[in-house]
Structure 1
Amino acid sequence: MKKILLVCNAGMSTSMLVLKMEKAAEAKGIEVEVKALPITDAEKVMNDWDVIMLGPQVRHTEKKLKTLTSKPIEVINMRDYGMMNGEKVLDAALKIIE
């Protein structure tokens, strides 16, 4: 099972994206665990996930977070985030993991 962590300011809009990603994974028959956390909580658990995807609103934290973990960290495409395109964000995360 692949583990994808989404990181944002408060976890509200990203929680909606989690649901869309889970739905896309189910449609593709892929087992994933997707969770959204605010940046302050995410820093404590980053090493437990296969990939960390940052919401565009916290992209400024990318360099700092990369010093805290060896796990891959990427910023979610702003358009995919804004459109809540769970399938595209899922595909991007899986491409990084594989």
Structure 2
Amino acid sequence: MLKIAIVCGGGFSSSALASHLEKDVQAKQLENEVHFTFIPASHIVERQDEVDVALLCPHLEIFAKQYASSFHIPIYIIPPRLYGLMPVDAFIEDAQDILAMYHNHPANPMHFEDEPRPLRVMRTTSHRKHNA
């Protein structure tokens, strides 16, 4: 099972996002394959063993760079447009691809080769589908 953390500073929108994604997982009957949970940024370093990958809200880009060396799991900044649209398939596919990339080349924060600046990413679907 792929365990994905949605990470934010305050948690208002990100906890709602995690709840929305988890409901979509249940609606698609993927409960045995993937699980989303909300973890505040202030706790993600000590709770990282609970998940396989951490998807950080867009405004945490500086946090990701400052604490990158504290992680032994991949951390990834969610593209802003993707964050707003909340498509569960895109979150799952990006998390799968980021995890695979991390296993081959562990470096944080992770990003797709053609997306070095996460806040400038304008896609509205997974990286996999966007580049298909």
Q: Report TM bin, short chain.
A: 0.7 to 0.9
What corresponds to 1:50 in structure 2? 52
Unaligned runs of 5+ in 2: 101-132
**Normalised TM-score (structure 1):** 0.83
Structure with the higher strand share, 1 or 2: 1
Q: Which has the higher contact order (CA 8 A, sep 6+)?
A: 1
Contact 1:21–1:86 (CA<8 Å) still a contact in 2? yes
Q: 1:28 and 1:94, CA in 2 relative to 1: closer, same or farther beyond 3 A?
A: farther
Q: Distance in 2 between matches of 1:85 and 1:15?
A: 15
* Structure 1: stretches of 5+ with no match in the other structure: none
Match of 1:78 among 60, 65, 80: 80
Report 1:26-37 matches (<5 A): 26=26, 27=28, 29=30, 31-37=33-39
Q: Output the amino acid matched with 1:13.
A: S
2:34 is the counterpart of 1:8: no
How many Å apart are 1:97 and its aligned residue? 2.6
TM-score (norm 2): 0.64
Deviation at residue 85 of structure 1 after TM alignment:
2.7
- Give percent identity, aligned residues only: 29
1:31 partner letter: E
Matching residue within 85, 88, 91 for 1:89: 91
Is the radius of gyration larger for structure 1 or structure 2? Answer: 2
**Per-residue displacement from partner, 1:14-36 (whole Å, max 9, x unpaired)?**
11211232233331635222111
Q: What is the aligned residue count?
A: 98
Alignment partner of 1:71: what SS?
coil
State how far apart, in whole Å, the 2-side matches of 1:48 and 1:6 are: 12
CA RMSD of aligned residues (A): 1.9
**Cα separation, 2, equivalents of 1:94 and 1:78:** 19
Could you tell which deviates more after superposition, 42-51 or 69-78?
42-51
